[in-house]
Amino acid sequence: MKLRGFTRKLSGALVLVMVGACAGDDSGSTTGDTATTTSTTGTTGTGTGTTTGTTGGSNSDSDSTSTSTSGSTTMATETGGETTGTDPFCGDGAVDDGEECDDGNDVDTDMCTNACTLAVCGDGIIGPGEACDDGNDNNGDECTNECALASCGDGELQDGEACDDGNDDETDACLNSCIAASCGDGIVHFGVEDCDDGNGDETDDCTSECKAPACDDGAKNGDETDLDCGGSCPACGDGLACGGSDDCASLYCADAVCGPPPSCKELLAANPDVPSGVYTLDPDGEGGVDPFDAYCDMETDGGGWTLALKANGNNLTFMYASNLWTNNAVFAADKTDLDRQEAKLPTWNTIAFDEVLVGMESPILNMGPLDLKYVQIPQASTSLFDLYSPNQFVASSLGRNAWKGLITNSSLQLNCNREGFNNTPRTRLGIFSNQENDCNTPDSYIGIGNSGGGCSGVVETRVGNMASCTPDNGNKTLPAFGVVLVR
């Protein structure tokens, strides 16, 4: 008789089914032709099985069957016959037809699943190297199609992310927090933003529009001292805020506000390097005197001088008898520069001073800048108008040699040598001398606002030097162009 055997896994028991066929058994007959021997022993042993006919008949005494069982292998042996192995199955450790793998274990999370298929991302089983496996192709849920847990920076847009570019560049359109770059996030978006300080303060170095401060953005920001002016921007006009004189068009900052300086002296004090030139002055600030333009000499004897008068010795404008010396009228007030055009400027009436500077050019040149020689007179007053309008003599004490130094080759008589302001009857500002030992009939002078000719028909000059009647260097008529400045 040939036996066919197969095994099945049933609840942990190994079942051996034996099927026999009778051939040449003449000692009896059996209605059925099947005998079954069953063993469920979990250990190895040897014994004699019992064969039972399924339908009547007699037991065969010509054949005997021995069955041996163990926990892992069951073999059936037919005495004098053939041996048959078990049928293949998933889990038997051998890769059979229809199987991708078979590792012979019941671990479903290794490289070979319990279905004898190779572990792959998307099979719904978390296999080796997988953080998750949800078995779907939705790349936007909590488990990506690469079986990685969804996270910012994985290049996939997940729920709750505004963006995800998969890189660590914090300056592009997507931040490393997967938030879209925007002005105010505190990170400079390269090529889009000039700056980003993360606040809305318009007065600092970055505007709320993430732009660098500009001098035309309509906001006070950066180093500006007022709206779009001051600092590195154009200078501020009068009345605008300033942090220093450099912030102001007027070059003068007082009490943190731009405005015209009161005098050339104060302008120079605020700007030690300011050059000579015409500047707007306002001696009384917010008082009743309107600001005016005046020439400032910032070089002579330390600078800070304000021009008040220009007079030509060849003209009658500023002769001794002119009312311009004692009234507050101005003359040619628009001729503010230091040139050869006569003028009595607003300085005459407004600028207080401690010193007076007298300059003369002789001979008078036709072109180019004035070539002046100066004398400095210590004299204080609230204004030149206040000094001259009483029409009273105010003495100075420079000495005849100082006055003679104003004009090359000048000449004076030896006696008297009276000098000062309103020096009647010969000069409004200067010195006169006499050959007698008194000041009664002087016939020589050097000054501005002169009057009278000399002995023997020597002609007068309203500005400059006239000398006659035995002067120390001969008779002279030397016209000059004279200027008066105060400080």
What's the burial of 387, exposed, middle or buried (CB within 10 Å: 0-12/13-18/19+)?
buried
Q: What is the DSSP-derived secondary structure letter of residue 323?
A: G
The type of residue at 407 is I
* Structure token digits, residue 304: 């800070």
Mean pLDDT value across the chain: 84
The mean pLDDT of 459-482, rounded to a whole number, is 98
The Cα–Cα gap between 109 and 121 comes to 12
Residue 104 scores a pLDDT above 60? yes
Amino acid 129: pLDDT: 80
Angle made by CA atoms 475, 478, 484, in degrees to the nearest 5: 135
pTM of the model: 0.63
Q: Are the beta carbons of 68 and 46 closer than 8 angstroms?
A: yes
The phi-psi region of residue 129 (left if phi > 0; otherwise alpha if psi is between -120 and 50; otherwise beta) is left
Least confident of 56-65, 232-241, 288-297: 56-65
> Among 254, 259, 253, which residue's Cα sits nearest to residue 238?
259
Q: Which of residues 48 and 81 earns the better pLDDT score?
A: 81
The phi-psi region of residue 189 (left if phi > 0; otherwise alpha if psi is between -120 and 50; otherwise beta) is beta
Q: Are the beta carbons of 319 and 429 closer than 8 angstroms?
A: no
The Cα–Cα gap between 108 and 101 comes to 12
The Cα–Cα gap between 436 and 472 comes to 13
pLDDT in tens, 163-213: 999 999 999 999 988 999 999 889 999 999 999 988 888 778 888 889 888
Q: Which of residues 212 and 478 earns the better pLDDT score?
A: 478
The Cα–Cα gap between 459 and 462 comes to 10
**Calculated CA dihedral for residues 72, 76, 77, 81, nearest 10 degrees:** -140
Q: How confident is the model at residue 54 (pLDDT cuts 50, 70, 90)?
A: very low
The Cα–Cα gap between 77 and 35 comes to 14
Amino acid 59: pLDDT: 39
pLDDT in tens, 293-319: 999 999 999 999 999 999 999 999 999
